[in-house]
Structure 1
Amino acid sequence: MTDTDLADEAATEVREAARQARESYESQFGLYEDYARSLKSILDHCARDAGLAVHSITSRAKEPASFEKKAAKPSPRNPSEPKYTNPLEDITDKAGVRVISYFLSTVEAFDQIINDQLIVSEKINKSGEDPDRFGYQSVHYLVRLRPERTAWPEYRRFADLIAEIQVRTILQHAWAEIEHDMQYKAVAALPTKVQRRFAALAGLIEIADREFQAIEAEGQELRAEARKNVDLGKLEEVEVTDDSIRAYLDRKYGPDGRMKSWAYSFLAKMLRNFGFATLAEVDACVTGYDDSAVSRAIYGGRQGQITRFEDVLLAAMGARFVFAHPYYRTDNQWFVRNSAWKVEKLVRASIPIGDFKPSEYPENLVGAEERNLLESARKGEQAKFARHEEELARLDRQTDTSVEAGTDVED
């Protein structure tokens, strides 16, 4: 028998062993699916408890066809032998979880979580220096559940099972996906010119990851400083941002847990469009107005934090508020009528309507035409109020007459 015949026979034996391993693995596939989902759930809960923002946490069990393909790989030292002599034991990524973060600091935070929650038997920090994966960066863990967790009935069947967890940033993930699609894994297989371009790209992604992390860290420092200045009343040093306006309103009007983050983002953008440069200007605008009194004058009751604040802005700015507001640009007729209705309510409650002008207010938005439009709308609301009051007075007179005559008022 020739060497070629021997090699073919050995390859056939390896493939047959891989097929048999697949059959055994298929009976366990559901178990590994559940195991991967359980690990994902653990990491999901830990991330939420730690306040970590992540792009995604996903889980999967290795598909049987993929398992067989991996089990059929030849040994790099002896191609006539399998790389995995016992695939069911030696292939350790049958259950897998992947964490994709926005920042490098989150990768470090997950390292602590994984070590606290699981038994880590192996940790590999795969970097761009890995000769098998050009420019690839990711942290890989081989883990098992801790005995105190597998003592619980829902985890008992996962005792001693191994899983792989990969943690990387979204930029590292983008590199890995593109590199995998291009199938450029071995540096030696690349022409020198292409190697240089890959090296340049890998360097750019590493720099971008570090810069995004630095920007995030600086942003957190600035937000903390802004909140501190709000607490100290140093509003002239605080720019208008979603975080700073939330801190300001919480301090001035009291916290409102019903408000969502997007509402403060919208409000901050609106204030900047109005031309407010700092919170000191915002405070100067609304000072002198009682937010509860304004709210009760318009609605008859106290509204939520942001609604009260916007209505105080309307009272303090008058027409300037109406015609710089983003709603005016989307449905100006309704918004003008609604604003005029509020203004008439405030006037009737003896709450003065101001004309506050922020330092960077876009003056071209409000001229005589706009002021006349608002005044005309207000007169329309006055007429409606007058008709309503006349009707109430008529009913009162009818009631008084009926009572004197001893008869009932018809419905």
Structure 2
Amino acid sequence: MAIPNLPEEYDQLDQWTTLMMLYNSALKEVQTRVNILSDEFQHINHYNPIEHVKARIKTPESIVKKLKRLGFEATIDNMYRELHDIAGIRIVCSFTSDIYYLADAISRQNDVEVLMVKDYIANPKPNGYRSYHMVISVPIYLSSGQVEMKVEIQIRTIAMDFWASLEHKIQYKFEGAAPEHMRESLKECADMAAVLDERMLALNESLQREEKKV
């Protein structure tokens, strides 16, 4: 297996279960870090920036399908080297400012390496999709030493998450070929959600300014 720093005894174990154990460990590591940042933010600012967090591991079927779509053979080595989203965490925040705060706080941790960033908030997809994506490498400390594992983090507001959930259902229902009127309606909804996020953020900032006067 092309994972550095694994002890020799791991060679005798099932490679798939080993890899899944490592990805699950990486998810736990990132979740803990996010929870600590949330606690600190709440302590300083007196509100929780995170509405909820969802973690998941890609299914074997999804992994094989994506490798084939990218032109790679479905092997353990290719899974580890070529795929960045086997382990994924989605963080849903109250406001867009919380998204950038969390992304910056995570990226500044000394033992975290940011491998990739895609800011679909500043640059939405043509269909209206908005979210902040980052792929990071985090250390997992085994009895034998340190192993680096990749985790994809998606950070979005409640409105962005609501839109993305409906868009996913529609695309799944029509197998990626949704009717034109639905695509147009989704784009309009995405634009309205973006305006809502902007107005809610402005209201919250006004509220914070008023609270500081008291």
TM-score (ref. length: structure 1): 0.42
Question: Which residue pairs with 1:142 in the alignment?
Answer: 135
Q: 1:155 to 1:167 in 2, by over 3 A?
A: farther
Please, which of 84, 107, 120 is the counterpart of residue 92 of structure 1? 84
* Structure with the greater alpha carbon radius of gyration: 1
Question: Which residue pairs with 2:192 in the alignment?
Answer: 204
Please, which of 89, 95, 100 is the counterpart of residue 108 of structure 1? 100
Shift of 1:208: 0.6
Shift of 1:82: 4.1
Shift of 1:93: 1.1
Partners in 1 of 2:96 and 2:22 — Cα distance? 32
Question: Which residue pairs with 2:125 in the alignment?
Answer: 130
- Give a deviation string over 1:67-93, Cα, whole Å, max 9, x none: 2332333x4xxxxx5487823311111
User: 1:107, 1:167 within 8 Å by CA — same for their partners in 2?
Assistant: yes
Q: 1:38 to 1:155 in 2, by over 3 A?
A: farther
Gaps of 5+ in 1: 1-22, 76-80, 228-411
Q: 1:155 to 1:191 in 2, by over 3 A?
A: farther
Q: Check if 1:72 corresponds to 2:63.
A: no
Partners in 2 of 1:46 and 1:82 — Cα distance? 37
- Give a deviation string over 1:268-324, Cα, whole Å, max 9, x none: xxxxxxxxxxxxxxxxxxxxxxxxxxxxxxxxxxxxxxxxxxxxxxxxxxxxxxxxx
- Give a deviation string over 1:240-265, Cα, whole Å, max 9, x none: xxxxxxxxxxxxxxxxxxxxxxxxxx
Q: 1:185 to 1:114 in 2, by over 3 A?
A: farther
Identity %: 23
The secondary structure found in structure 2 opposite 1:160 is strand
Partners in 1 of 2:145 and 2:165 — Cα distance? 35
Higher helix share: 1
- Give a deviation string over 1:7-65, Cα, whole Å, max 9, x none: xxxxxxxxxxxxxxxx8434421221121111110111112112243101232222333
Shift of 1:126: 2.3
Q: Check if 1:36 corresponds to 2:36.
A: no
The secondary structure found in structure 2 opposite 1:93 is coil
Q: Name the structure, 1 or 2, with higher relative contact order (CA <8 Å, separation 6+).
A: 2
The secondary structure found in structure 1 opposite 2:85 is coil
RMSD of Structure 2 on Structure 1 (CA): 2.9
The secondary structure found in structure 1 opposite 2:117 is strand
Question: Which residue pairs with 2:113 in the alignment?
Answer: 119
One-letter amino acid of the counterpart of residue 61, structure 1: I
Partners in 2 of 1:143 and 1:68 — Cα distance? 22
Partners in 2 of 1:198 and 1:44 — Cα distance? 32
Partners in 2 of 1:220 and 1:59 — Cα distance? 31
Matches within 5 A, 1:203-222: 203-222=191-210
Gaps of 5+ in 2: 1-13, 43-47
User: 1:25, 1:88 within 8 Å by CA — same for their partners in 2?
Assistant: no
One-letter amino acid of the counterpart of residue 36, structure 1: L
Question: Which residue pairs with 1:297 in the alignment?
Answer: none
Please, which of 161, 164, 167 is the counterpart of residue 155 of structure 2? 167
The secondary structure found in structure 2 opposite 1:137 is coil
Partners in 1 of 2:144 and 2:187 — Cα distance? 44
User: 2:41, 2:49 within 8 Å by CA — same for their partners in 1?
Assistant: no
Partners in 2 of 1:200 and 1:190 — Cα distance? 15
Partners in 2 of 1:178 and 1:105 — Cα distance? 24
Matches within 5 A, 1:242-253: none
User: 2:131, 2:155 within 8 Å by CA — same for their partners in 1?
Assistant: yes
- Give a deviation string over 1:384-410, Cα, whole Å, max 9, x none: xxxxxxxxxxxxxxxxxxxxxxxxxxx
Partners in 2 of 1:38 and 1:129 — Cα distance? 29
The secondary structure found in structure 2 opposite 1:72 is helix
Partners in 2 of 1:50 and 1:101 — Cα distance? 12
Q: 1:61 to 1:189 in 2, by over 3 A?
A: closer
The secondary structure found in structure 1 opposite 2:185 is helix
Partners in 1 of 2:29 and 2:90 — Cα distance? 13
Higher strand share: 2
Q: Check if 1:179 corresponds to 2:158.
A: no
